[in-house]
Amino acid sequence: MLVTMKEILDHAKKGGYGVTAPNVQSEDTVRAVLEVAEEYHAPMIVDVNAFIHTDLPWFIHMIRDLAEKVSVPVAINLDHGKSYEDIMLAINSGFTSIMVDRSSLSYEENVEQTKEVVKMCRPLGISVEAELGHVGMGNNYAVDGVNNLTVPKEAADFIKETGVDCLAVAIGTAHGRYTGTPHIDFERLKQLVEACGETPLVLHGGSGTGDENLRKAVRSGIQKVNLATELIVAGKEELEDFIKDPNFDKWKLIPAFKKGYKDRLAHYVELFDQAGKAWG
């Protein structure tokens, strides 16, 4: 069943568990995500990047159609909406949630532009996520991983000024693959949880951060963990193992990729205590 991201994350905050937000790229990855959600009776957030698809409305229509047929709560979230055009397209395409990413701008510009998106989305019942601080790229972790971390006082002010439903914070993770060892600033996370009160917090760059770090982050107050690279790599590795057999069945290539993707996602559903938390 389709719900907003706010419903899922508010429930997670009250229940003390985390929610995976896998980034999908195809119908097969969408089906993999929804199958895991059903099999583990887990609420799920489906993240979609606007730049992935030339026909975003069709892709979202497909996700909505599949999500409406499952018995567990599912939200469809635009990941890293950077332009006004992306956000308007997402609203008109049927997303239940929007992430507006103005984290590379000044604090003042981030506030003003995020407020405008909240103003557009709230009357439509669409949840809004924003980012404060900046989560960079893993291939530049030595620089991006330690700079532009979220300041707790600014986070509290940002939430008050914009009215966002959840906030992505920078505490030491990065997008993609790491070239350095990730160091998560748990003391900063503790301060952010205290400063942000009832507002759920989001961790971008979950891939490669490590089970111990991610479990601790969820238990310390993170409600949503974004995952992309690690799921795709798991699917790729399963596919590579499958085709080592010279007599492999060509009709089972996609199922092999899907199995690797599903298995890795299921691992995180269990790690974050998300299994069995669905309602409705």
- How many CB atoms neighbour CB 148 within 10 A? 16
197 assigned ligand-binding residue = no
267 assigned ligand-binding residue = no
**Full strand arrangement of the beta sheet holding 127-132:** 19-22, 224-227, 201-203, 166-169, 127-132, 97-100, 74-81, 44-49
- Compute the distance between CA of residue 196 and CA of residue 100 in angstroms, rounded to an integer: 18
80 assigned ligand-binding residue = yes
Residue 241 catalytic? no
266 assigned ligand-binding residue = no
227 assigned ligand-binding residue = yes
276 assigned ligand-binding residue = no
Q: Which of 10, 28, 47, 79 is catalytic?
A: 79
Name residue 19's beta-bridge partners. Answer: 224
175 assigned ligand-binding residue = yes
- Compute the distance between CA of residue 233 and CA of residue 18 in angstroms, rounded to an integer: 22
Cα 162-163-166 angle, rounded to 5 deg = 105
85 assigned ligand-binding residue = no
Q: Which residues are annotated as a binding site?
A: 80, 101, 131, 175-176, 204-207, 226-229
Q: Which residues are annotated as a binding site for dihydroxyacetone phosphate?
A: 176, 205-207, 226-229
As annotated, the active-site residues are 79
Q: Which residues are annotated as a binding site for Zn(2+)?
A: 80, 101, 131, 175, 204
